[in-house]
Structure 1
Amino acid sequence: MNLKKTFKYLALTAVGVLAAGALAACSSSNKKSDSGKTTVEVGTVGTTKPFSYEDKEGSLTGYEIEVLREIFKGSDKYEVKFNKTKWASIFSGLDSDRYQIGANNISYSEERAGKYLYTNPYAKNPTVLVVRKGVDIKSLDDIGGKSTEVVQGTSTAQQLEDYNKEHTDNPTKINYTDGTIQQTLVNLNDGRTDYKIFERITVDSIIKEQGLENLEVIELPSDQQPYVYPILAQGQEDLQEFVNKRIKELYDDGTLEKLSQEFFGGSYLPDAKDIK
């Protein structure tokens, strides 16, 4: 091959590589299935019962999983695929566009709202204080010097870190963990920690299922019940519009109420005025 042909070959190769890279970049957020629909990848931990968990056959289910299935059911544009992953990987997956949706009992925070797209809420989950019976904790005013376990990067972790900044003379003891909420509550029940702040629906479900008789639940005062949302990666405005519309339809036709009763054992839906 002469020098002229060599340069021509290298130029064509470079163009091919760039084109392939551009195609790969586009396909990361617009992956088409064999049916021609866009595949929406959802990241979820899959251990937060009753929101997202595995049934006896090892299949993902739970309130959020079934709501998302209903959202995309019958769509001629989208189809949904679920991926089990760690909590932190939900967000790194959204950042890298590996996932287009994150769903795992996710509440609102200004920090997340600056990075991701929020949709309509699809559940309401009040926060409670879980303590071991006999421990002298009656409210959040009593957690100084007491210990808890939290997953780093969660809203509870941020809340406790802020608490310690304001109570440097008697901070609470924060133990960061990658363990599931089930493991955390078992540790609390067995005396390894003193308290846990978490959402009522999940706590009630785990205490009942696992027979954690040493635990009691204390209601926390709040002027607003925390909502649960799916969050979307940046650049997914069309998907956000579609999900918003479907959540309202499922709210209006009673599907969300039916799933709330099935998985939560009661009505834990957002206020109608907050579904737009």
Structure 2
Amino acid sequence: MLYLDTLPHTVMDRRTYIKTGTGAVVGTLLAGCTGGGGSGEGEGEETTASGEETTESETTEGEQTTSSESNELPDKVVIGSDIPYRPFEYETTSGELTGFDVDIAKAVFEGELGIDYEFKPTSFDSIIPSLNNNNFRVIMSAMTINDTRAEKVDFSEPYFTAYQTVIIPTGSDISSKEDLKGKNIGVQKGTTGASAAEGLKEEFDGDLTLKKYDQISGAFQALINGQVAAVVNDNTVNAEFVNGNGEGEAVFLEGEGAAEDAGKDAPPYLTLTVEEYGIAFRQDDDGFRKQVNEALAAVREDGTYEEIYAEYFEG
């Protein structure tokens, strides 16, 4: 794998593909609803195709008092996360929670900071308000750092680099980005995938219809069913589907794009954006954020990060 010179994140190159193994199983899954994000991105799409809207409770069970002046660690950190989002967070067939984010949480909170952790399933399109309502202490949910979200939360140092990409049905007559014009595109609500698709819609002077789903699995199923012509989503999650449940039924749309424009060693398919993931904190939680950043750096320095990365990704 490659690293940028100064930022602690992973850059996936042309040799990077998703493993199909599940990796280590860690964490405790609380009962709750699942779905999708709190940045308000992707508003105004013409078509909505989703399940029932989820409503977040305003319980503060398991939460700790936070203060920007305090360096005292909590006994346990509750983590908000949109599940499933394979390979970052998902349940195995036996109901155990696993994934890249889950293993990183174990290494950071349990391994480095010596505290317990617990994942709380939360709809991604309401996850930032839920954080700021004290429903949990942090967000770890393959969340892209961007200016809109940074107005509402503070982020850790980046810990992963991803690209927004497009997958299409195998045998589709779509062969370039321009061929998406006039088509139905599936996205997950509140995600940067939805924002990237909105950017395409603007580029096509509005000649694109976005269908939004509570979870990315809904968009993938719509692709298989012929209800959408393509899905826009993170490359790692798209690759997990292409190489797993959607094997033989979906492929990446090829072409050059944002990664090449940014001078990255890009994967061999169209990239709409280059993005970095971070852990999100409330804006009054500076002390805890500093401790987590130090723990992330330690996990990188001792090789634990690379071992976890190898469980889920190749390259």
**TM-score (norm. length: structure 2):** 0.68
Q: CA contact under 8 A between 1:151 and 1:157: conserved in structure 2?
A: yes
1:204 to 1:166, Cα distance in 2 relative to 1, 3 A: closer
Q: CA contact under 8 A between 1:90 and 1:99: conserved in structure 2?
A: no
Q: 1:78 deviation in Å?
A: 4.1
1:252 to 297, 301, 315: 301
More helix as a share of residues: 1
Whether 1:143 and 2:180 are equivalent positions in the alignment is yes
Query: 2:108 is paired with a residue of what secondary structure?
Result: helix
Query: 1:158 is paired with a residue of what secondary structure?
Result: helix
Q: 1:151 deviation in Å?
A: 2.4
1:50 to 80, 87, 93: 87
Specify the structure having the higher radius of gyration (Cα).
Answer: 1
User: Which structure 2 residues correspond to residues 1-276 of structure 1 after superposition, within 5 A?
Assistant: 28-30=63-65, 37-74=74-111, 78-168=115-205, 170-178=206-214, 180-219=215-254, 220-221=256-257, 222=259, 223=262, 225-264=274-313, 266-267=314-315
Query: 1:125 is paired with a residue of what secondary structure?
Result: strand
Q: Let me know the Cα RMSD of the aligned residues.
A: 2.5
Query: 2:140 is paired with a residue of what secondary structure?
Result: strand
Q: 1:258 deviation in Å?
A: 0.6
Specify which structure has the bigger relative contact order, considering alpha-carbon pairs within 8 angstroms and separated by 6 or more residues. Answer: 2
1:211 to 1:152, Cα distance in 2 relative to 1, 3 A: closer
Q: CA contact under 8 A between 1:126 and 1:226: conserved in structure 2?
A: yes
1:249 to 1:164, Cα distance in 2 relative to 1, 3 A: same
Distance 1:39 1:120 in 2: 21
* 1:173 partner amino acid: T
Q: 1:75 deviation in Å?
A: 5.6
Query: 2:141 is paired with a residue of what secondary structure?
Result: strand
Gaps of 5+ in 2: 1-58, 67-72, 265-273
1:97 to 1:140, Cα distance in 2 relative to 1, 3 A: farther
1:67 to 1:162, Cα distance in 2 relative to 1, 3 A: same
Distance 1:101 1:257 in 2: 23
Distance 1:261 1:51 in 2: 13
Q: How many residues align?
A: 236
Q: Percent identity?
A: 21
1:70 to 1:77, Cα distance in 2 relative to 1, 3 A: closer
